[in-house]
Amino acid sequence: MREIENKNSMVIGFIGIGVMGSAMAKNLLLSGYKINIYTRSKKKASDLIRLGANWMESVSEVTLNSDVIITMVGLPSDVEDLYLKKDGIIDNAKKGTIVIDMTTSKPSLAKKIFQKALSKGILALDAPVSGGEDGAKNGSLTIMVGGSEFDFKKALPILETVGKNIYYKGTAGAGQYTKICNQVAMANNMVGICEVIIFAKKAGLDPKGIIRTLTNGTSNSWVMENLANKMIEGDFKPGFYVKHIVKDLTIAYETFEEMNVDAPGLKLSLSLFKQLVEMGEENNGTRALIKVYET
């Protein structure tokens, strides 16, 4: 396989051009990588094509013509179809190809993909991200990686193009386990912040003033610094969709159950976000959780 640092000869296949994937693929293009792309709708990829990306007609065509494959899709079922179904990525990838799934998916599926890839001489990494749309656009995502450390080091120059904080966490599935930790902590934190805002209002306090005070204390967090004031202002524009956090927390809850780990906080936050979906808020940003408390 060609050295991954050589952008002039390295071809990256990118599958999944959604809000996150399109921004990540754009950063790779602008940094000098050659990109093959595939998504269900060619129209969706028009901006990337104008920037120089090559449109491919199928998953197999992308795979056969690329040295590295990056996937950023919706559900674990999508990941499984892409990698493990007949004529998918594993069936078509050349020996030595690096495949990097950056979808938030199941650790058990990441392990399954790794083992099947290994049997064919393909290098597989699970590398979910955190940082939302802004992080994807700015190339400042946090990336949590599982798989072989040797393979991780080979892929690192590419990961550094789309992310700022990149962590190798261990063997296959470790990236997904880490992302579960991130989502559970974030969701539970958001529940607490919603309760603080509602309480502050009831107590006759300025909620923005309370948040300003708390960000200088032990309760500070990324959620508090970046989302709390938007909750107060009623700005629910999606950076990360409610429907996606429900998917992620469902994966987390199922994984906790598989490992016999009790998680009352996770159970509560998942139920509240599901309630938000029932209210018709699935396409708003996660900070719309405050609406559950305001009803």
Domain boundary residue, one of 118, 144, 173: 173
Residues in the chain: 295
Answer whether residue 4 is part of any domain: no
Residue 138 and residue 219 share a domain: no
What residues in the chain have per-residue pLDDT under 70? Answer: 1-8
Residue 146 and residue 39 share a domain: yes
Residue 214 and residue 138 share a domain: no
Residue 167 and residue 76 share a domain: yes
Answer whether residue 1 is part of any domain: no
pTM assigned to the model: 0.93
Q: Between 107-119 and 242-258, two packed helices, what is the crossing angle to 10 degrees?
A: 80
Domain boundary residue, one of 126, 142, 173: 173
Residue 206 and residue 108 share a domain: no
Exposure string over 128-150, b if 16+ CB within 10 A, otherwise e: bbbbbbebbbebebbbbbbbbee
pLDDT at 208: 97
Tokens standing for residue 137: 């656009």
Tokens standing for residue 295: 């009803």
Residue 211 and residue 168 share a domain: no
Answer whether residue 2 is part of any domain: no
Cα 88 from Cα 57, distance rounded (Å): 13
Answer whether residue 255 is part of any domain: yes
% of the chain residues with pLDDT over 70: 97
Residues 6+ positions from 226 with CB-CB distance below 8 Å: none
**Residue span of the structural domain in which 222 resides:** 180-294
pLDDT at 7: 66
pLDDT at 93: 95
pLDDT at 171: 97
Q: Between 264-278 and 242-258, two packed helices, what is the crossing angle to 10 degrees?
A: 150
Residue 289 and residue 230 share a domain: yes
Answer whether residue 163 is part of any domain: yes
Compute how many other C-beta atoms are within 10 angstroms of the C-beta atom of residue 160: 13
Name the domain count of the chain: 2
Catalytic residue among 179, 243, 247, 291: 179
* Catalytic site includes residue 202: no
pLDDT at 43: 84
Cα 116 from Cα 83, distance rounded (Å): 9
| CA neighbours closer than 13 Å in the CB half-sphere of residue 25 | 36
Residue 157 and residue 16 share a domain: yes
Domain boundary residue, one of 117, 143, 173: 173
Answer whether residue 121 is part of any domain: yes
Residue 151 and residue 257 share a domain: no
Residue 268 and residue 127 share a domain: no
